[in-house]
Amino acid sequence: MPFLGARSHARPAAVVLGAPYDATATHRRGARAAPAAIRWASDAIETYSPLRGRDLDDLALADAGDVDLDGCTPEAAVARVRDAIAAAPGLPLLLGGEHTVTAGAVTALAARHPDLAVIAVDAHLDLREEYDGHRWSHATTLRRVGELVGFERLVVLGARSGTRAEWAAAHALAHCARTGALPDHVWAGLADRPLYLSVDVDGFDPSVAPGTGNPEPLGLSVSDVVALVEVLRRGRVVGCDLVEVSPPHDPSGQTVMLAAWLARELLLAFCG
Ligand SMILES: [Mn+2]
């Protein structure tokens, strides 16, 4: 079942791509079920966004299905996502899967846009050098992303969990804050660059998005993230993702519904 409003197009302007992978999740697995669950939930919402005054039916939106990540090591999963994103025409929206898959998308887009900057919404800093013996892991993703694009081109919003060493490393970032706001001087350094937005759903408060592997109190509201999207759409977003939704930990379905809604909003905000 494709994402809401997606059809086959000769030249799609935006492409939804699933990355059902959760092999490095240590605490609670389940994110591999998210792409299918989010597509299913998208069928229950409208194609029209009153916030944007736009309709998904106005976009040439395609759904390229899922990247086959069965049995992949984290390195292989990142490489397969990289290749799938590199081959995707138009603006990619990657539906994780655990946060590890973001590194694949950023690798592909940084090759196409050498001055790419990355804005991550995440409760966790994900700046560990390695985790459980793995360099590629949900807990090291933003370290790998920073190595790819430069830590001075990486912003983390909603950040409120990390080791002492990660918080020390966060000083090298362009910006890192528990809130979702982008200060003017930070935005000034990003506004002219191609941008990638990675939304780890645990950046939201657990009261808003309980269905995730590692929920953390004191998170962002939906309005916070909508306000961030409103700022970013004034720039040039060339790709985005939504990761770490875990349907088995989402008993009411509210996190999956939020994810489907947010996916629609991201497509309508960033697809020209
Ligand atoms: Mn996280």
pLDDT digits (tens, 9 = 90+) for 118-140: 999 999 999 999 998 889 999 99
Centroid of ligand 1 to alpha carbon of 178 (angstroms): 13
- Residue 105 in this model has a pLDDT that exceeds 80: yes
Predicted pLDDT of residue 163:
97
Centroid of ligand 1 to alpha carbon of 91 (angstroms): 23
Centroid of ligand 1 to alpha carbon of 228 (angstroms): 18
Confidence grade of residue 232 (pLDDT, cut at 50, 70, 90): very high
> What average pLDDT does the segment 55-81 reach?
97
- Residue 27 in this model has a pLDDT that exceeds 90: no
Centroid of ligand 1 to alpha carbon of 122 (angstroms): 5
- Residue 25 in this model has a pLDDT that exceeds 90: no
Predicted pLDDT of residue 272:
86
Predicted pLDDT of residue 3:
98
The 10s digit of each residue's pLDDT in 237-248 is: 999 999 999 999
Centroid of ligand 1 to alpha carbon of 238 (angstroms): 22
Which of 124, 127, 131 shows the shortest CA–CA distance to 213?
Answer: 124
Predicted pLDDT of residue 26:
74
The 10s digit of each residue's pLDDT in 73-103 is: 999 999 999 999 999 999 999 999 999 999 9
Centroid of ligand 1 to alpha carbon of 212 (angstroms): 9
Any bridge partners for residue 205, and if so which?
none
Centroid of ligand 1 to alpha carbon of 24 (angstroms): 13
Centroid of ligand 1 to alpha carbon of 10 (angstroms): 36
Q: What angle do CA 20, 142, 31 make, to 5 degrees?
A: 20
* Whole-number percent of the chain with pLDDT over 90: 96
Any bridge partners for residue 15, and if so which?
62, 92
Centroid of ligand 1 to alpha carbon of 209 (angstroms): 12
> What is the rounded average pLDDT for all residues in the chain?
97
Centroid of ligand 1 to alpha carbon of 230 (angstroms): 22
- What would the CATH number be for the domain defined by 18-270? 3.40.800.10
Centroid of ligand 1 to alpha carbon of 28 (angstroms): 12
Centroid of ligand 1 to alpha carbon of 214 (angstroms): 7
- To the question of pTM greater than 0.85 for the whole model, the response is yes
Centroid of ligand 1 to alpha carbon of 213 (angstroms): 8
